[in-house]
Amino acid sequence: MLQTRIGVSVLACGLSLAAGGAAAETPVERGDYLVNTIMACGNCHSPRDAEAKLIAGKALSGGLTFDTPAFLATAPNITPDVETGIGSWSDEEIRHALIEGIRPNHGKLAGVPLAAIMPANFKALLPDDLAAVIAYLRSVTVRLSPPPTSPRIPLRSSAPGATPRSAGPSPSASRATVMP
Ligand code: HEC
């Protein structure tokens, strides 16, 4: 009997600690946890360097390309950058994309469903958690800069009639090809 009581009070204590922790967490912190651990959005949406390590300051700014018989799709920039990310999407539009897998009715590929590789099946998420994911996506700092020029041959020549040529690997060289 005594043991049971101790067990119950230890359990109650644990619960109140957990509740205290949850209350202290902001939606952005909750979203950070969901996006960067169990929902693993960055596995596809974050770029990686040649050693497959995440690149600091570029999280969620675009990642893997999936080249399958059914579609060719790149996990795009989902940071709040208006030009290259989803900064022009409303919260409701992001919610709709995550639940239904459909893009908003504006912008590129308006209204077109997302390729099935994008796990747009987050219906089971609690509304607060979905809102937290969206709040976190909106909070991610973006520092996008154009890819550096890395000349491997002289780009300009003083020789008359010489035409500058672009250098560097072709974009497809860094593609990850995933078979379904
Ligand atoms: C298995 C890889 C993968 C994972 C994991 C993933 N995505 Fe995606 N996501 C994609 C791909 C690929 C696309 C592009 C689909 C297309 O172009 O049709 C995409 C598209 C999107 C889009 C639409 C963006 C646009 O500009 O069209 C949003 C928003 C998005 N993902 C959010 C998320 C979030 C949030 C998570 C984590 C909860 C996540 N994704 C997890 C692969 C993934």
75 CB within 6 A, ligand 1: yes
Is a pLDDT exceeding 50 seen at residue 169? no
Of the candidate ranges 56-70, 87-101, 131-145, 155-169, the one whose mean pLDDT is the lowest: 155-169
Supply the pLDDT for residue 115: 94
Within 8 A by CB and 6+ apart from 138, the residues are 80
Out of 72, 78, 82, 125, mutate this one to test ligand 1's pocket (max ligand atoms within 8 Å of CB): namely: 78
73 CB within 6 A, ligand 1: yes
pTM above threshold 0.85: no
Q: How far, in Å, CA of 123 to CA of 81, rounded?
A: 26
Identify whether the C-beta of residue 163 lies closer than 8 Å to the C-beta of residue 154. Answer: no
Q: Which tens digits make up the pLDDT trace of 15-56?
A: 444 444 556 899 999 999 999 999 999 999 999 999 999 998
Mean pLDDT value across residues 111-136: 92
